[in-house]
Structure 1
Amino acid sequence: MKWERIPLGPLQTNAYILSHSDGTCVIFDPGSEGEKLVHYIEQQGWTPLAILLTHAHFDHIGAINDVQKKWKIPIYIHEQEKEWLADPLLNGSAYFIGEQIKVNYAPQCLKQEQTLKIGNFTFELLETPGHSPGSISYYLREMEVIFSGDVLFAGSIGRTDLPGGNYDQLMRSIHDKLLGLPEETIVLPGHGRETTIGAEMDSNPFLHGF
């Protein structure tokens, strides 16, 4: 298996594609530039199996309709944010970009921490709220990789001033769910470069003294 980061849209939100040697892949947070994303996947000859969302802010969901038109694959999201996909006020598109982003397809809702198996991919789901109430991190133990969305960044943490954000909850999520992972675990965030759990424990100023 291998992962690729594709920054998309004006906020350069990281979409990730995790591909398997059997030619299948899953797509994390297709946030914008849907035609570009679809074209890239087609060029690689991959067959997408699912869209996995870390959360439902507009910059993480904007390309879903384009992907769905092409492949009609399941969309996974935490149940607390299922209504956000079709509501521009909840997903923030109405007041951040003046454009109404509405996902036209019903998602499959994740209700609790669990193991999620899709084709030959197996993820451990970690509920990591704080940036948003339904934020999920997807841990791929065999690759020592976690797709953290906007919870933890290289040298920073997710913002908590958006609707449903909660700073104390975010810090608990990072401490209780992420920092307990092996230090060599690669963190793939929603914006910016990758990092590791160990690097953030050592140098992230937001975590010092926590």
Structure 2
Amino acid sequence: MDWTQLPLGPLATNCYVLSHGKECVIFDPGSEGEKLAEWLNQNSLKPLAILLTHAHFDHIGAVEHIRQTFHIPVYIHKAEEQWLENPELNGSNRFGMGAITAAPADFIVETEEELEIGPFQFKLFHTPGHSPGSLSYFFEEGGALFAGDTLFMGSIGRTDLPGGDHQLLLDSIHHKFLALPEETIVLPGHGPATSIASEMDSNPFLNGF
């Protein structure tokens, strides 16, 4: 299985495409829906689902275009069930991006669970702190964690937006992420990939864990 990082939109939000053969799932199609759809078609990929780590505007801007183009479902955590439709909640109004919206998600995640979509299996972690409904998807077979804006190379997600909580974010990282194998690749919502081991060694926010 292969994953591809595609930075999209003015904030260079990382969209990830995880593929197996010609089937794939899409994480956080944040913007530039036509560009993303063209890339998928050029690579002869068949999307099976859109998996959202959270519903801030820069992670959802191309959701509706991709959903309608490929007729696939969208997954989101229950704590942000209303955010797709609401520019105040998803922050697009707050940052002057215009009203960015999408139709309600097709599947609502309420508990930490195993998620199986086609050939892909994930362990879901509810990792609030950056936002109340932040979800992280652990792809054990590939040793990769799709972490959204919870953990970055050398940093952590901002917590000054509505629903943010700095201590809760640190708790999420400590109890969920740092319990994973140290060689786990962390695929963040912005910036380069890193690893659990690297962040344990050098991330100043994780000192003392």
TM-score (norm 2): 0.98
> What CA distance in whole angstroms lies between the structure 2 residues aligned with 1:85 and 1:147?
20
Cα contact 1:65–1:105 (8 A) shared by 2: no
**Counterpart of 2:208 in 1: which secondary structure?**
coil
Q: Which residue of 2 aligns with 1:45?
A: 44
Q: Which residue of 2 aligns with 1:159?
A: 158
**Counterpart of 1:202 in 2: which secondary structure?**
helix
> What CA distance in whole angstroms lies between the structure 1 residues aligned with 2:104 and 2:85?
9
- Report the Cα offset of residue 115 of structure 1: 0.2
Q: Which residue of 2 aligns with 1:12?
A: 12
**Counterpart of 1:193 in 2: which secondary structure?**
coil
- Report the Cα offset of residue 205 of structure 1: 0.7
Q: Where has structure 1 moved over 6 Å in runs of 4 or more?
A: none
Q: Deviations over 1:134-178 (max 9, x none)?
A: 101000111110000000000000000000000010000000000
Q: Which residue of 2 aligns with 1:130?
A: 129
What are the within-5 Å matches in structure 2 for residues 1-210 of structure 1?
1-21=1-21, 23-210=22-209
> What CA distance in whole angstroms lies between the structure 2 residues aligned with 1:189 and 1:19?
18
> What CA distance in whole angstroms lies between the structure 1 residues aligned with 2:46 and 2:59?
21
> What CA distance in whole angstroms lies between the structure 1 residues aligned with 2:179 and 2:105?
34
> What CA distance in whole angstroms lies between the structure 2 residues aligned with 1:190 and 1:180?
20
Please tell me the residue identity of whatever aligns with 1:5: Q
Please tell me the residue identity of whatever aligns with 1:100: A
> What CA distance in whole angstroms lies between the structure 2 residues aligned with 1:93 and 1:69?
21
RMSD: 0.8
More divergent stretch after superposition (35-44 vs 96-105): 96-105
**Counterpart of 1:206 in 2: which secondary structure?**
helix
**Counterpart of 2:138 in 1: which secondary structure?**
strand
**Counterpart of 1:32 in 2: which secondary structure?**
coil
- Report the Cα offset of residue 2 of structure 1: 0.3
Structure 1: gaps (5+ residues) = none
- Report the Cα offset of residue 118 of structure 1: 0.1
Structure 2: gaps (5+ residues) = none
The alignment covers a number of residue pairs equal to 209
- Report the Cα offset of residue 106 of structure 1: 3.6
> What CA distance in whole angstroms lies between the structure 2 residues aligned with 1:104 and 1:143?
31
> What CA distance in whole angstroms lies between the structure 1 residues aligned with 2:97 and 2:204?
34
- Report the Cα offset of residue 105 of structure 1: 4.4
> What CA distance in whole angstroms lies between the structure 2 residues aligned with 1:146 and 1:122?
12
TM-score (norm 1): 0.98
**Counterpart of 2:206 in 1: which secondary structure?**
coil
> What CA distance in whole angstroms lies between the structure 1 residues aligned with 2:89 and 2:103?
15
> What CA distance in whole angstroms lies between the structure 1 residues aligned with 2:189 and 2:90?
15
